Chain A
Amino acid sequence: MASLKFLVIEDSPTMRQLIRFALNRIPQVEVVEASDGVDGLKKLSSADIDLILTDINMPIMDGIKLVTLVRSNENYKDIPIIIITTEGAKEDKDRAMALGANAYITKPIQASSLVSTVKQLLKL
């Protein structure tokens, strides 16, 4: 029985699978997948999510817009958000963190680094 639910919002199925692989190293975790920001918001409202991991560059709704919407919603504003992106520029990171992201990881990801960031954020 999973006790933690993580929402992975990423348009690339390859990355979603890789992130799922990494997160499954943490015991009792259920991964919910979404392929863009809009899909992510739908899944967020239908499940009791403990952590959001999102890409920035996605079709329909990007990760930055998603972070803004989540942080402005009273029900979800306290959910930790990890950005996973190819955008490695400092200004991109600063912008995402200023909007309310809790961590910023650049691709290509290291599974161990992702897991330790998640554990640190959730105090596992």
Chain B
Amino acid sequence: MDDENKKDSLFRKGEEFLEMFRQGQEFTQELMQDNERLRYRVVQLEEELKAKLDFSQEPVALAAYDERLRELENRLVQVEEENLNFAQRYIDVEEQNNNLANLYVASYQLHSTLDYDEVLQIILEIIINLIGAEVFAIFLLDEKEKALLPAAAEGVGLEAIEPIPLGQGTIGQAAELNQSYFNENPPKSIDDLFQDPLVCIPLLIKEELIGVICLYRLLQQKEEFVAVDFELFTLLAGHAATAIFSARLYTESRRKLTTYQGFLDLLSQ
């Protein structure tokens, strides 16, 4: 009986041991599976990390960035150049605008009256205010005497200016030849001022000489002639001539009209 009990006991212990062994085997298998899964995950993570830290593509990306940067820099240079061009064009347009305003005002004023004295006064104003001359004179042609007679002056008394025979001296020659004269070396001495003017502008209607404008000295702040001055000289050469001619003609016709009217009034009495 005891032997039977011992056998049973041994058998149960063997069974228990086998059960423990099976459980240990299952546990080991689970551990191995987990291990395998974790290994796989590690490999996956390593690949992901490798992909992230893969610098093999970097030179290509940097080259693209460099290219883009160069494009932007080039564009910036272009835009800066365009800005400079626009700024220069703005300055040019502003200057043109100023010049046109000066020319418009000069032209408008010259033809704003038919009064001879007013016309001469306007020419003086244009030369003082728009050109910037300090000493100058307007000569008108006396066709009978073939001489230029002083009609108006600024900065010098009219009586101080001598009539100039056509063809004589700088002024007489400029008038006779119908050619403007510009003196690049103006005289320093006041005595030579009237012999050798800075500028002579013949006043012409087509080819017919009306007179001459002579500039002897500029205002002290006016250092040199600028582009608009030459435009003004050209304008004066034509428009001042027609304005003077029209005003003289109008004044003369008014005087004649008054005479005729007086004569008619006398006849009708």
Chain A interface residues (CB < 8 Å from chain B): 12-15, 17-18, 21-22, 86, 88-89, 106-112
Whether A14 pairs with B130 at a CB distance below 8 angstroms is: yes
Q: Say whether B219 contacts A12, CB under 8 Å.
A: no
Considering the chains assembled together, what is the distance between the CA atoms of A108 and B226 in angstroms? 11
- Do A88 and B98 have beta carbons less than 8 Å apart? no
A86 touches B129 (CB 8 A): yes
For residue B236, give the distance in angstroms from its CB to the closest CB of chain A.
Answer: 12
Question: A17 near B98 (CB under 8 angstroms)?
Answer: no
Decide yes or no: A107 and B105 within 8 Å by CB, A88-B221, A112-B98 being known contacts: no
Minimum Cβ distance to chain B for residue A14 (Å): 4
**Selected contact of B101 from candidates A12, A18, A86, CB within 8 Å:** A18
Which B-chain residue is minimally distant from A16 (CB atoms)?
B105
B128 close to A21 (CB less than 8 A): no
Whether the Cβ atoms of A106 and B129 lie closer than 8 Å is no
Q: Which of A15, A21, A86, A108 has the most CB of B within 10 A?
A: A108
Given contacts A86-B128, A86-B129, A108-B131, contact A14 B109 (CB under 8 A): yes
Q: Is the CB of B101 within 8 A of A107?
A: no
Q: How far is the CB of B90 from chain A (nearest CB, A)?
A: 10
Tell me which of B108, B112, B131, B221 contacts A106 (CB under 8 A).
B221
A14 contact from B98, B125, B221, Cβ within 8 A: B125
- Within 8 Å by CB of A108, from B104, B108, B130, lies B130
User: In the complex, which of the residues A17, A22, A106, A110 contacts B219, with contact meaning CB atoms closer than 8 Å?
Assistant: A106
Judging by beta carbons under 8 Å apart, are A86 and B109 in contact? no
